[in-house]
Structure 1
Amino acid sequence: MVQFITKQILVALGQILVVATIVFLLLRFMPGDPAVLVLGSERGGDPEAVALMQEKLGLHQSVFVQYVQWLTDLLQLDFGNSLFNNTPISEYLLERLPKTIELAVAAILIGSIVGVTLGIIAAVKRGGIIDMIVSSIAAAGLSFPVYVTGTVFILIISLQLNILPASGYTDITDDPIDHFKKLLLPAVTISLPLISAIARMTRSSMLEVLHREFVRTLRAKGLPEKILLIKHVFRNAVISVVTVIGLELANLIGGTVLIEFLFNWPGLSTLLVDAINDRDYPLIQGTVIVIAAFYILINRTVELIYGLMDPRTR
């Protein structure tokens, strides 16, 4: 088991290093001079001012020297400063990251609870009207883009019915009730595709287990149906469901760009969009690396959980 955990940690560190290197090289070869962008249109045409700014930013050194220095700082969790206001990037990340994690966790909780419940019901009632309804809901949830669903929710739930706020963010310490009101609508919007994916996986995994020989044997011995479903069938089917949930959570960390923008939720995704629009290279680097690192770490964690639940996968 120790060897399995060590392998997962080393793989995660290697993947993060590869992602960091790719991000660094791509941004270095993008058109445009960061020094000119920092100086602005007035001073950007002055070669002497540009040269001084390049030296200040370390751009006068070779790409290899820049990479070594940047990687050294990165190992110390020093992402540098923003080009435009000289604010440490770690401050931006520490401010925005919890908001994105909160939104993603809320969505995955809603998606997991509703999706697993619907999947179990559909598997137990397979072939009937309930199964058809659940399958139709799952297909519809995967068919509509989240920005379409979010727009419809805003128009109906917020503007017409006035049940929940349309957008915005309130700190939980200022007003907990208003905070959760503004969290609920974007979380539900994101969770709809998750509900569909988790429900379909739960249903298919449950049906696969229900057709195994040991289930027929337990039924023949008179084991109550509820105990059979919960203790034996769902327990064997949950491994695939956990894998889907973990992968969906990883996707949510970096896949909330449209929803955060639509609902004006100040998370990592909106920070990345703002950094790209401003061509703030250090901020882009830091944000992308943090998103990628979370994606990788969650995937590795899912692999560890998978190995703990099913020793054969080690």
Structure 2
Amino acid sequence: MAFPEPRPQAPQLPQHLLRTINCQQGAVRAVRFNGDGNYILSCGSDKSLKLWSVGRGTLLKTYSGHGYEVLDADSSFDNSQICSCSSDKTVILWDVATGQVTRKLRGHAGKVNCVQFNEEATVTLSGSIDGTVRCWDNRSRKSEPIQILDEARDGISSLKVVQHELLTGSVDGRVRRYDLRMGQLHVDFIDSPITCVCFSQDGQCTLSSSLDSAVRLLDKSTGEMLGEYKGHKMKGYKLDCCLSNRDTHVLSCSEDGHVYCWDLVEGSLSLKLLVGTAVVQSLSFHPSETRLLTAMEGRVQVWSAEPEETEDEAPLL
């Protein structure tokens, strides 16, 4: 007699608040996991960048060198370097261990909204309100970028690079995908200023959020819209969206104090996570676990699918 197969368990969602970190760096403009998810980067309006441990929420290092608020940051694959960008029009490369500035990259004509390393951390890519993406060679001492992508007709709000592909979102309402190896450009028109873009984990789709309070999932090769996710509020702020680490759910910040989480396939709202009463400015999903970071005002929240057992008694910072 054959027993029926057990029903597959529904993916869990990060809805338990593990800890709140009071960052003490003004408003937190962006919060990011590092590559392996063991550390947190928080970008502050007080010109500082801070590195935290995920497990305890303790401050490990403060990086000071920008002249204005820090808007985005990324960690290299080996955790030895951090790149950050700021309203001061610069991109800075940091030595993680010493906290020292290793390079300060100048060339953008306006504030730099987004920054990311390529996978080997040999190139830093930065996107600015000046409408350009600049590619900087980290192994060279030259001050000029090795490539400038200036196809956008308005500011670059978001960028993601995976292998040889670069995805950018612009205030001109277009999502651009560059195949840097083939020298090709693919453009999808959304008709609303883009606030955030990302690739799906399987590399087959692109996700973009825009100021018409919608998040859209597009087939990367055809541009066909596979899903549209609504219910959140995004009218005047540059807020993040992302996919869960297994591509099962779409998540977005919202101006109403919640993070919205939709089932990717069905499009139904799976979770409306209350963070607080202000705008949820930024979020980041753990690369391998069901954990989520959110940023609201001057605090970062760490969420998990399960309440933590061993560190329940640890005081909130």
Q: TM-score, normalization: structure 1?
A: 0.22
Of the two, which has the highest radius of gyration?
1
Q: Which protein has the bigger strand share?
A: 2
Q: Which protein has the bigger helix share?
A: 1
Which structure has more relative contact order (CA 8 Å, sep 6+)? It is: 1
Q: TM-score, normalization: structure 2?
A: 0.21
